Amino acid sequence: RKPPPPPVAMSLNRLKETLLPCSSSSAQSQSQPRSPSPPRPPRRPPKTSLSQQLLRLEASYSLPAPPPSPPKPLSQKTAEDAAEQPTSSSEEDVAPRPRRRPAPPPAASFEPRGPYEPLVLSPLGEHPIVQVPPSINCRLLAHQRDGVRFLYNLYRNNHGGVLGDDMGLGKTIQTIAFLSSVIGKDNNQGEKSTDKGKKSSPVLILCPTSVIRNWENEFSEWANFSVAVYHGPNRDLVLEKIEGQGLEVLITSFDTFRTRDKVLCDISWELVVVDEAHRLKNEKSKLYTACLGITTQKRFCLTGTIMQNKIMELFNVFDWVVPGCLGDREHFREYYDEPLKHGQRLSAPERFVQVADKRKKHLVSVLKKFLLRRTKEETIGHLMLGKEDNIVFCRMSDVQKRVYRRMLQQPDIQILVNKDLPCSCGSPLTQVECCKKIEPRGIIWSYLHRENLDGCPLCPFCLVLPCLVKLQQISNHLELIKPNPRDEIEKQKKDAELAAAVFDTDIELVGGSAKSENFMGLSDSEHCGKMRALERLLSLWTLQGDKILLFSYSVRMLDILEKFLIRKGYCFSRLDGSTPMNARQSLVDEFNKSPSKQVNLC
């Protein structure tokens, strides 16, 4: 007789998964019937067909002419237009000719826009009508509109809830759209209240210090609230504004709130929004107890990680959001926490697993009323389909190949290549097991072990990474293996010795074995396979009006690419480790906005 199958263990992850599919049912349950959401736009074609571009590159090196392209259906027209077929292998013909880029089809417009139908939140027939301002509504995606409905319906029932969407789904803009529909409105048909009419109390936003600016920026971009930040030395001046000038939104950090909770809890808030609300997972923390002092019933939480480790964390967050919604703490522990933990064990008896499963479903159904949680895949996955990753293999130049081969012949690499050959001393062991663990003739080995001439415990494998780095540098640009004047003198000596060895008879071609300052030499793509490929791709992309981000992890490579861009006449900017923090955002903004900026080096 066979033993019964082992019970299925239930994990915390499965509970987390189960929290997902609650979609927007609670958001829709109380709202008026709405028109079905529009069909998702079809998958967009890639902006340019890199496979065609690759063919073109390949053609310039070896192929006499590409095969004639077969007739293509109309839908591929954009990609086809973008990648003209070369007609011969000569350089002039291979380089793309200037031509106008075809207008993109409407579906390919870059910024996703929601439908323009008004987003009315209040139930049909109810007055005043509450709706999201068109200026925000037109920029909302479908899932964001659902999120705004969800937040409003909670608000209308005089309590709060948790927006638990994945990071990147726009929790901030959903919140601002929701606030824009309900804050500062009097009974004048949703018009923003002026000095007449009853003003509502202000909104409190609690968030980590690091995102205060972000909230401020988003508010100024999307809404015309009177917003103030309560943070830093002069913070108490801000409080006077609440009374005197009709402040509508106050943003403060967790740290400030923890110490100033008495002052802030004295204020009558219309509603409170806690960003990164998983910070409320511990009921014994000072932040949690301080938040309990906030008097409003309308408590909203935003978080992408609603539960990090323990089920009790869920209780703490929800018990703050809607006090009592999950019963009292002891009941929750007995009814959900303990059974779920028991059922989760691998050795749990079947009946424990069944109870856990039932309780889990029950918990999820209770949470649904107050929690909206969506993933990237189910919401904006279809928008990401136009993105393609392409890897372009670049043929090394002839000099690069010669240098690469000489590098492979270096004793440092040979000892690794030959490690499994029989040892020359006649023993039955391999070289690496016997006599050839160290290589005093190797330039890299000698440098690595200049303090311990007998080798290190890792020998010869301590050579793997340094040798790979050298091979990678040769493949990227020959200039990179020359000594760097910023290095210590010992390392420079070693690099100069190695460079001389691998350049050998090609030393003149690469401008000597010392670091070159020669602009014409460095900016020339002739001896660098990657730059030759880049030259053609840049030319093609810029002709199409695309902007290009050009990344390198090496500052020296960025220096070389910069010279290359100057020589080619591209308009570019550069952002690297030396760019001051406070200059970075404006540099990015300028690159995005200025039509003349073609390339950004980073």
User: Smallest gap, in angstroms, from Cβ of residue 462 to Zn ion?
Assistant: 3
Confirm or reject binding of residue 432 to Zn ion (CB under 5 A): no
What CA–CA distance (Å, rounded) separates 484 from 557? 12
- CB-count burial class (<10 Å; 0-12, 13-18, 19+) for 458: exposed
Shortest approach of Zn ion to residue 407 CB, angstroms?
19
Which structure tokens are listed for 139?
A: 């920029």
**Residue 416 near Zn ion by CB under 5 A:** no
What is the DSSP code string of 3-27?
Answer: PPPPPPP--HHHHHHHTGGGTTHHH
Label residue 598 exposed, middle or buried (CB < 10 Å: 0-12, 13-18, 19+).
buried
C-alpha–C-alpha distance, residues 361 and 353, integer Å: 12
CA distance linking residue 131 with residue 213, whole number of Å: 27
CB of 500 to Zn ion, least distance (A): 23
Identify which of residues 462 and 496 has a Cβ nearer to Zn ion in the complex: 462
Which three-class secondary structure state does DSSP give residue 229? strand
Per CB under 5 A, the segment of 89-97, 171-179, 432-440, 497-505 that binds Zn ion is 432-440
Q: Check residue 425 for interaction with Zn ion (CB under 5 A).
A: yes
Query: What is the nearest approach in angstroms of Zn ion to the Cβ of residue 454?
Result: 10
Closest CA to 469 of 389, 553, 577, 535: 553
- C-alpha 261/C-alpha 320 separation (Å) is 16
Nearer to Zn ion, 410 or 598 (CB): 410
Only segment of 7-15, 273-281, 422-430, 576-584 that touches Zn ion (CB under 5 A):
422-430
Using the rule CB under 5 A, give the single segment among 101-109, 331-339, 390-398, 419-427 that binds Zn ion. 419-427
Which listed residue (434, 496, 501, 543) binds Zn ion by CB under 5 A?
A: 434
Is 456 among the residues that bind Zn ion (CB under 5 A)? yes
The rounded Cα 352 to chain-centroid distance in angstroms is 40
Nearer to Zn ion, 346 or 425 (CB): 425
Vertex 434 angle, CA 433 and 435, to 5°: 135
CB of residue 425 to Zn ion, shortest distance in Å: 3
- Closest contact distance (angstroms) between CB of 174 and Zn ion is 56
In the complex, what is the shortest distance from the CB of residue 417 to Zn ion, in angstroms, rounded to a whole number? 16
Residue 285, token pair as written in the block? 């923390």
Q: Output 312 or 423, the one with its CB closest to Zn ion.
A: 423
Nearer Cβ to Zn ion, position 444 or 528?
A: 444
CA distance 93 to 86: 6
Q: How far apart are CA 104 and CA 46, in angstroms?
A: 11
Binding piece for Zn ion, criterion CB under 5 A, among 454-462, 498-506, 562-570, 586-594: 454-462
Q: Where are the alpha helices (DSSP H) in 477-528?
A: 489-503, 519-522
Name which of 195 and 454 has its Cβ closer to Zn ion: 454
Q: How many residues at the interface with Zn ion, by CB under 5 A?
A: 8
Contacting residue, 140, 356, 459, 531, with Zn ion by CB under 5 A: 459
243 vs 451, beta carbon nearer Zn ion: 451
The DSSP secondary structure of 50-89, one letter per residue, reads HHHHHHHHHHHHT-SSPPPPPP--GGGHHHHHHSPPPSSS
Q: Which of 425, 549 has the CB closer to Zn ion?
A: 425
Nearer to Zn ion, 461 or 551 (CB): 461
Residues in contact with Zn ion by CB under 5 A are 423, 425, 427, 434-435, 456, 459, 462
